[in-house]
Amino acid sequence: MKVALVTGGSRGIGRAICLKLASMGYHVIINYVSNDAAAESTLKEIENAGGTGETMKFDVADQAKSLECITAWQDSHPGEYVELLVNNAGIRRDSLLLWLEKDEWYNVIGTNLNGFYNVTRPLLQPMVVKRHGRIINVASLSGLKGLPGQTNYSAAKGGLIAATRALAQEVAPRGITVNAVAPGFIETEMVEGLDEASLKKDIPAKRFGKPEEVASLVAFLSGDDASYITGQVISINGGLY
């Protein structure tokens, strides 16, 4: 059984990734933090299409709970391991730094960057032992260029990009690739409240991207055809830099 874990997998980009990976034959573990209905809906859609999966509820920002849930799954599935990890969970709390509250800083860093550590570390050793694994981190255009009003989000995603490049060098000899995808503006709940009409004027493609387009890029990076690609950050942004 090929197993994939997608954090923040119940909605938006994460949901599209879960559905795509399930269609490729992965047993998909759908991580989510609070929306039971959305997670069950994603799982049902996977099963209705003939795939398999399960839900796993925990907050990636909570190191102890992340470890508890992952360890429990590993203990109950001897001989199996998560060979594909997609670190997708993320939150935004936009504000100019001048008015950014402490919780808005630490919560964004906690989910978007600390979550990478909390989930990746316990899943890494089995990949090393098996000499095969794929880790794909969902970064952001904000982490590459920085966006005003997103100092916290830019810092977290920038840190995730740096971690991607460093970890890729650590584990490449063990047959594990580590890459990041950096979406621009994608049609999900994460862009709610933004001035879409104004932003589209600055995008050469003149539109927002679709979650399924990001999922297709993740699918390619998870496959054998991408086995010599590692430590890379691939933008999917309609030409916006």
Per residue in 49-71, pLDDT tens?
999 999 999 999 999 999 999 99
- What does the block give as tokens for 59? 């907050």
DSSP, res 205: T
HSE-up of residue 185 (Cα within 13 Å, Cβ side) = 22
Nearest to 114 by CA among 71, 149, 82, 157: 157
Residue 32 annotated to the active site: no
Please state the pTM of the whole predicted model: 0.94
**Candidate list 26, 32, 81, 153, residue with the active-site label:** 153
Per residue in 163-210, pLDDT tens?
999 999 999 999 999 999 999 989 887 777 677 788 888 899 999 999
Runs of H (alpha helix) within 140-236: 141-145, 151-171, 196-200, 211-222
State which H helix or E strand residue 78 sits in: none
Conformation bin of residue 193: beta by default, left when phi > 0, alpha when psi is -120 to 50: left
The 3-state DSSP composition of the chain as helix, strand, coil percent (nearest 5) reads 50, 20, 30
